[in-house]
Chain A
Amino acid sequence: MKKGNPLFVDSTKFRGDLIATQIELKSVLIYEDEALFVIVTTHLGAERRIQMKMLDDKSYEARLHLNHQSQIGFQFVIEKQGRRLLQSVVHKGQAQYSMIENWMPVLEDPTLGVTGRPTEVDSGAPAKITDEDAIAWARESSINVRSLIDKWGL
């Protein structure tokens, strides 16, 4: 009874017929200044980016027309002022009437923190230098001085 079960393939639609697909994302929390997008890659490689609308408290939806049973990829992205904050893996599947996924962010952007939220950086605060930083700086400086002495015979 999994996704490939022919019992759940619409026999009135041939492969490739256009159908209205509803993509849903569940268990996701979006703040007021954030926006949720789904990026759909069709079987022809064309990319469509659609802003998702709230369905209920923690569910969002987007609707688009796709070719029945064609192979597609789709990825959910949370953005804030045009900057990507969080993203899901690229889900793959055959286009059908509804495609429902649970929100599961992944960390691919190194600027994202451990929790998946971007690390807050206060640009006005002075940089904090740790002992490890100082030792590493001194070691690097000494190597540089040594290399100059070797090079120029000072």
Chain B
Amino acid sequence: MAIVSVINQKGGVAKTTTAVNVAASWAKQGKNILLIDLDPQSSATRSVFADREFEKTIYDVVAGQVPIEDVIVHSEEFGIDMIPAEIMLSGIDMQLAAHFGREHILRRKLEAIERQYDSILIDCSPSLGLMTVNALLASKDIIIPICPEYFSLKGIELILETLQNIRAGLGYKVDVRGVVITRFRDRKIVRDVIQQVRDKYDLRVFTNFIPDNIAVEEAHHRHRPVHKYAPNCAAAKAYLELAAEIW
């Protein structure tokens, strides 16, 4: 069992879309998957469950109000278990600022359920706060989605600096499992950026790039995994192959 965070401190890189579709692809491949939405904007929750309201969310778990088992919901459409998020999560940093062991809360909560799953995927907030640090300390490694056309290399630098700060200040080493290329369009500048990621940062770039395809956005808005919404489109196949490559 591995806990993996999907993170990029730069927004607009298809982070949530990647988390949701990789989770659904793993589930399609027979894996037992839990997806945790740790972003107060709740994009992953909305992507899977549309406007469904949840009485209890990850906020209640982290605040110590309910056991983690009580907030897990199952999505038949995606074939995964999920822990939803809510906007209240944005204020949790202040509430937990003086909490002893505040950076290990999520890791301790996950100990109760981690054996039930083949993998747990965490969709992190793009901002660096206590919940993102919690996600990183709960994770064995991370996946960084980037959209090279928009030159999101700055996001990679921020993450690597965060990982170094976590190692220095909290004594925990998080590895980068790899970089996912999203919204790929075969242009010279895109190829150059991808090569730069390999050379400058010495990071593994997954070879299954996710092509820029409208079906991905449509599937997101119709609350379906792209491999079900448009099974024959290039992006659907790419996500399935990417999921296998990441695993």
Contact = CB atoms under 8 A, between A and B. Distances in A.
Interface of A: 1, 3, 5, 7-12, 19-20, 96-100
A29 B142 CA distance: 31
Contacts of A19: 171
Interface in B183-240: none
B161 A100 contact: no
Nearest to B9: A1
**The 8 residue pairs across chains A and B that have the minimum distance between CB atoms:** A8-B169, A97-B171, A8-B165, A98-B168, A12-B101, A96-B168, A11-B102, A10-B170
B99, B128, B165: which has the most chain A beta carbons within 10 Å? B165
Contacts of A20: 171
B124 to A, nearest CB: 14
Contacts of A98: 167-168, 171
Contacts, number: 52
A8 B102 contact: no
Contacts of B103: 7, 10-11
Nearest to B100: A11
Interface in B137-183: 158, 161-162, 164-171
A1 B101 CA distance: 20
A8 B129 contact: no
B100 A97 contact: no
A137 to B, nearest CB: 57
Contacts of A12: 100-101, 104
A7 B130 CA distance: 7
Contact of A1 (B104, B158, B167, B170): B158
A99 B102 CA distance: 23
B104 to A, nearest CB: 7
B171 A8 contact: no
18 contacts: A1-B162, A1-B165, A3-B168, A7-B128, A7-B129, A7-B130, A7-B165, A10-B103, A10-B169, A10-B171, A11-B103, A12-B101, A12-B104, A19-B171, A20-B171, A96-B168, A97-B168, A97-B170
Contacts of A9: 169-170
B161 A8 contact: no
A129 B53 CA distance: 92
A11 B104 CA distance: 9
A3 B161 CA distance: 10
A97 B172 CA distance: 9
B23 interface: no
B133 interface: yes
Given A7-B165, A12-B104, 17 more contacts: A5-B165, A7-B129, A8-B165, A8-B169, A8-B170, A10-B103, A11-B100, A11-B102, A20-B171, A96-B168, A96-B169, A97-B168, A97-B169, A97-B171, A98-B167, A98-B171, A99-B168
A7 B127 CA distance: 13
Contacts of B168: 3, 8, 96-100
Contacts of B171: 10, 19-20, 96-98
